[in-house]
Amino acid sequence: MAGKQIILTFYKRNHLRPDWRVELDSPAYRKFFSEMTEELARCDVFLSLADNPEFTIDINSYGDLLNAVRINSLSDGFANICLGHVIGKSPNLNLAEDIRRGVNRIAFAPETVPPEDHNRKVCHNCGCGC
């Protein structure tokens, strides 16, 4: 595999409210991840999935659910960025749709993801678009 490597990591989720419960190991999500992996591979982007049970996120809102999904693309400088940071506001509160948006953004337009607060630099109005 010479292309871009992206790892989607899922933290352990403590569902405090039933309305934001999503079963990522359900047949529908397994099919979704399989199809997305195949689509990306055709573009030389290789997606793998991982679970990280060492971190638990309490799910009280959709934002917490997004925070439990992390994207790693070391070639782009993203070691463990939460899905919410990558996509910003979710228009439809649909996790599969948002995962696809976030992964595609990292795969094809990583320069559009704003740096985390501790990595932000002051813009000097040079025209770079930051």
Q: How many domains does the chain have?
A: 1
Integer CA distances (angstroms), 81 to 7, 69, 78, 130, in order: 11, 8, 6, 19
pLDDT of residue 124: 44
Whether 128 is in a domain gets the answer no
Whether 77 is in a domain gets the answer yes
pLDDT of residue 120: 46
- CB of 123 closer than 8 Å to CB of 130: yes
Q: pLDDT tens for residues 34-76?
A: 999 999 999 999 999 999 999 999 999 999 999 999 999 999 9
Beta bridge partners of 48: 7
Q: pLDDT tens for residues 63-112?
A: 999 999 999 999 999 999 999 999 998 999 999 999 999 999 999 999 99
pLDDT of residue 98: 97
Whether 129 is in a domain gets the answer no
Whether 11 is in a domain gets the answer yes
**What's the chain's average pLDDT?**
89
- Percent of the chain residues topping a pLDDT of 70: 88
Domain limits for position 114 = 4-119
Provide the b/e sequence for 21-44 (b: ≥16 CB within 10 Å): ebebeeeebeebbeebbeebeeee
Whether 126 is in a domain gets the answer no
Average pLDDT of the residues in 14-23: 89
116 closest CA partner among 96, 72, 92, 86: 86
Whether 41 is in a domain gets the answer yes
Which residue pairs, CB below 8 angstroms and at least 24 apart, start in 81-90? 81/113, 81/116, 85/113, 85/114, 85/116, 86/113, 90/62, 90/66
Whether 102 is in a domain gets the answer yes
Whether 127 is in a domain gets the answer no
Q: How far apart are CA 8 and CA 39, in angstroms?
A: 15
pLDDT of residue 117: 57
Angle in degrees, CA 73, 28, 4, rounded to 5 = 15
Q: How confident is the model at residue 1 (pLDDT cuts 50, 70, 90)?
A: low
